[in-house]
Amino acid sequence: MANQQEQTSRQNPDQTVPVSVEPRSQDSDRPLNHNLPDFLLSVRLKYVKLGYHYLISKAIYLLLVPLLGISSAHLSALTARDLAQLWNQLRFNLITVVLCSTLMVFLVTLYFMTLPRKVYLVDFACYKPDDSACHKSDPARICTHETFMERSELTNVFTKENLAFQQRILERSGLGQRTYVPEAVLQVPPNRCMAEARAEAEAIMFGAVDQLLAKTGVKAKDIGILVVNCSVFNPTPSLSAMIVNHYKLRGNVLSYNIGGMGCSAGLISIDLVKQLLQVNRNFYALVVSLESITLNWYFGNDRSMLVSNCLFRMGGAAILLSNRSSDRRRSKYQLIHTVRTHKGADDKSYNCAFQREDDKKIIGVSLSKDLMAVAGEALKTNITTLGPLVLPMSEQLLFFATLVAKKVFKMKSRPYIPDFKLAFEHFCIHAGGRAVLDEVQKNLELTDWHLEPSQMTLYRFGNTSSSSLWYELAYSEAKGRIRKGDRTWQIGFGSGFKCNSTVWRALRTIDPVKEKNPWMDEIHEFPVHVPKAVSIGSTMK
């Protein structure tokens, strides 16, 4: 089945069953999550203007190209006699020549000083327990549905009703039977302590970074920038300090630790590195994205906090970026755009994913019933800003025609939502849950082929927070789908509330035979059919 589906072209993708999650409220079985808002209903003009502001701010570099071409054409047509006459004129207009030359040198210098440095993604690596540096038994980390329910019951913490609630969520989650959870959580009783949390973080970070350094051949001492993002586990010394200590990075490394920014923090880290590489020449930058589960598994009975137990799993990724021109030939991708959207000024958006204590003083992350609506508004804002940067002119003209008809002529027409499939060949949508994936697919009118990397990542690895986007890109590479010139759109959502995008262009065709990523030893098994719901053999009494 997997082979038949992979042979299908992009234009005629196989149909797969969509996957969704419907968390429910504490007091009833009413779903917490509503559908994403219909993007066709409203488009805010200010975000369109913002996108064009980004575009125009870079247009000066495009305008200089035809000017240089015209000048070169005129110079090439000059004869020896023309040059002699020009020399005579210059000798009698020395002041004009000096002023013009000074102005030209100034403009050329200004151009090269303000020209953004290109940022390359040399390679990346995703954590998988079988490849980790951990010395403990890896099978103990595999969390089947039955294992999840059995261990949840053995804690003697959850009520019978909430065990049934978690079972319903898990049955509809879209997660498979081979996701990973830290051993400390699966132990009976759970061993939730700082030492185990550090061990989990070390296994993920060192496992991914070891693989990345081996793939690229870059020495740890060559890394000049280090950015680590983990939302809910921020020990002292920091996670970035743990990497500096373990790999003995140089003393002047620019080290950053990003916390509390949810599942979109990975793309925030990429954007931060992009800014840093604009002001530092010939630098390697290492980004490590992960989430920690050990101290943040919720052992209480507030249903808004129980959903994360059912979805979040163990995972992480390490990404190596460079602004060295010499690295272009061996790099996989070039960073084209980053667009960040923050809705934190709105109280509903700010509170939709909130770490707090329940009525028994047990800490957990509460997910509001408004989460899907908030995510939809953030996504709509983000893509409205991104559109002018990436869409072909035909789509932009259609979009503006309908927008003008509605805003200026007050015509009762629905705004035209551009076809982003014309701008991107691949889509990596944060695998936060099947409901999010289904709604994004519907609103962006994506095919099952486009959504396959996200769905399969959710199925195989679960919600690994900010690193899920890299498992998805690794899936496309393992399938041999990435060709030179292909554009990939990564979309991440996070608490705050934030929606962030990055756009990559492939610098070469990725040969899966030469790749080493977490999918390679089992890629022939995918894609798989994911039913809307599965039955879990629970031991609940």
pLDDT digits (tens, 9 = 90+) for 456-483: 999 999 999 999 999 999 999 999 999 9
pLDDT of residue 396: 78
pLDDT digits (tens, 9 = 90+) for 360-392: 999 999 999 999 999 989 998 898 889 888 988
Catalytic machinery residues: 263, 342, 426, 430, 463
**What is the arithmetic mean of pLDDT over 156-171?**
96
Tokens of residue 220, six digits: 């740890």
**Which CATH superfamily, name and number, covers 120-515?**
Thiolase/Chalcone synthase (3.40.47.10)
**What is the arithmetic mean of pLDDT over 490-518?**
96
pLDDT of residue 103: 83
Domain ranges of the chain: 120-515
For 220-289, the DSSP string reads GGGEEEEEEE-SS---SS-HHHHHHHHHT--TT-EEEEE-S-GGGHHHHHHHHHHHHHHHSSS-EEEEEE
Tokens of residue 95, six digits: 């002041």
pLDDT of residue 19: 36
**What is the arithmetic mean of pLDDT over 389-415?**
75
pLDDT digits (tens, 9 = 90+) for 267-294: 999 999 999 999 999 999 999 999 999 9
Percent of the chain surpassing pLDDT 90: 65
Angle formed at CA 316 by CA 208 and CA 237, multiple of 5 degrees: 85
Cβ–Cβ contacts within 10 Å for residue 321, how many? Answer: 27
Query: Which residues is 256 bridged to in the sheet?
Result: 227
**What is the arithmetic mean of pLDDT over 321-349?**
96
Assign 312 to helix, strand or coil.
strand
pLDDT of residue 391: 87
Stronger pLDDT, 51 or 106, i.e. the higher one: 106
Query: Does the pLDDT at position 48 exceed 60?
Result: no
pTM passes above 0.95: no
CA pair distance 21, 35, nearest whole angstrom = 11
Contacts of residues 327-332 at CB distance under 8 Å and 24 or more positions apart, as own/partner, are 327/120, 327/122, 328/118, 328/120, 328/507, 330/122, 331/120, 331/121, 331/122, 331/123, 331/507, 332/121, 332/122, 332/123, 332/124, 332/482, 332/506, 332/507, 332/508, 332/510
Residue 357 and residue 471 in contact, taking contact as beta carbons nearer than 8 Å: no
Query: Which residues is 337 bridged to in the sheet?
Result: 503
468-478 and 265-279 are packed helices; what angle lies between their axes, rounded to 10 degrees? 80
Cα torsion angle, 388, 391, 393, 395, sign: negative
> pLDDT band at 51, cuts 50/70/90?
low
Tokens of residue 529, six digits: 């059919």
For 425-467, the DSSP string reads SEEEE--S-HHHHHHHHHHHT--HHHHHHHHHHHHHH-B-GGG
CA pair distance 144, 75, nearest whole angstrom = 72
Q: Of 253-257, 426-430, 531-535, where does mean pLDDT reach its minimum?
A: 531-535
> pLDDT band at 536, cuts 50/70/90?
confident
CA pair distance 399, 519, nearest whole angstrom = 39
